[in-house]
A and B are shown apart, each in its own frame.
Chain A
Amino acid sequence: GAVVSQHPSRVICKSGTSVKIECRSLDFQATTMFWYRQFPKKSLMLMATSNEGSKATYEQGVEKDKFLINHASLTLSTLTVTSAHPEDSSFYICSARDSATSGNREQFFGPGTRLTVL
């Protein structure tokens, strides 16, 4: 199956710094990628939908100026957590669908990035 990679897998940073997380579709093109956040023992919560070449669509309650999303190519989307604070500590996961197969509804997920803000 298709593979989605995320980098880094784990990051620890000081409060007030910015952290960039990369999401790549390795063997397929993705017009749309999704960013989720998951707290311990909680469901995946959609943060934003990232569209190649256009602005991301953010879910209600997600600050677009704090979580900057850039989808510059069909295989790469980045999420930047700006001025991170301890409450931003979470597991961030991206996912994508294969643009070439519109009938395939499966979403491919990255392995996730564990962010810890001290």
Chain B
Amino acid sequence: SQKIEQNSEALNIQEGKTATLTCNYTNYSPAYLQWYRQDPGRGPVFLLLIRENEKEKRKERLKVTFDTTLKQSLFHITASQPADSATYLCALEYPGNTPLVFGKGTRLSVIA
């Protein structure tokens, strides 16, 4: 079965630095790869989506890359701020109106 690994359970970073989170998957590549933010006791909030034929996507301070050869996506937050502290979830979607499959998430702490 498909496995999704976000290889850091927790990541601490200094304010102003770039945070880089990793998402790896096994087996076949998804049609879409999405990143969500989840705060404690809340539902996830959509951040970015990248398609399997795209290499990179940007939105303000966020950047996502997608390498189907490595079966990996990287999620970057530049000029990180304490308000960026949250759990970030990687999610894969396969063709058809199928539900997302989530990784366990990486808990990011940005220290002032």
CA distance A95 to B104 in the complex (A): 17
Interface string of A1-17 (1 = CB under 8 A from B): 10010100000000000
CB <8 Å contact, A106 and B34: yes
Tell which of B57-65, B66-74, B76-84, B95-103 binds the partner: B95-103
Evaluate whether A109 and B44 lie within 8 angstroms (CB atoms) in the complex, with A32-B97, A43-B104, A44-B89 already known: yes
CA distance A108 to B44 in the complex (A): 8
CA distance A112 to B39 in the complex (A): 11
CB <8 Å contact, A106 and B49: yes
CB <8 Å contact, A49 and B41: no
CB <8 Å contact, A109 and B99: no
The residue on A at minimum CB distance from B51 is A105
Q: Is A46's CB within 8 Å of the partner chain B?
A: yes
Evaluate whether A44 and B34 lie within 8 angstroms (CB atoms) in the complex, with A32-B97, A95-B43 already known: no
CA distance A93 to B99 in the complex (A): 13
CB <8 Å contact, A46 and B101: yes
Which one, A43, A49, A108, A109, contacts B105 given CB within 8 A? A43
Closest-CB distance, B4 to chain A (whole angstroms) = 8
Instruction: Please give, as numbers and ranges, the residues of chain A lying within 8 Å of B44 by CB-CB distance.
Output: 44, 93, 95, 109
Which one, A42, A95, A112, contacts B42 given CB within 8 A? A112
CB <8 Å contact, B99 and A112: no
In the complex, the number of residue pairs spanning A and B with C-beta atoms less than 8 Å apart equals 48
Q: Is B11's CB within 8 Å of the partner chain A?
A: no
Q: Is B93's CB within 8 Å of the partner chain A?
A: yes
CB <8 Å contact, B32 and A105: yes
Query: Chain A residues in contact with chain B, CB under 8 A?
Result: 1, 4, 6, 32, 34, 42-44, 46, 49, 91, 93, 95, 97, 105-112, 114
Given A34-B99, A93-B43, A110-B43, 8 more contacts at CB 8 Å?
A: A43-B102, A44-B102, A46-B101, A95-B44, A106-B49, A109-B36, A109-B43, A111-B43
12 CB contacts below 8 A, A to B, read A4-B43, A32-B97, A43-B89, A43-B105, A44-B102, A46-B99, A46-B100, A46-B101, A49-B99, A95-B100, A105-B32, A107-B34
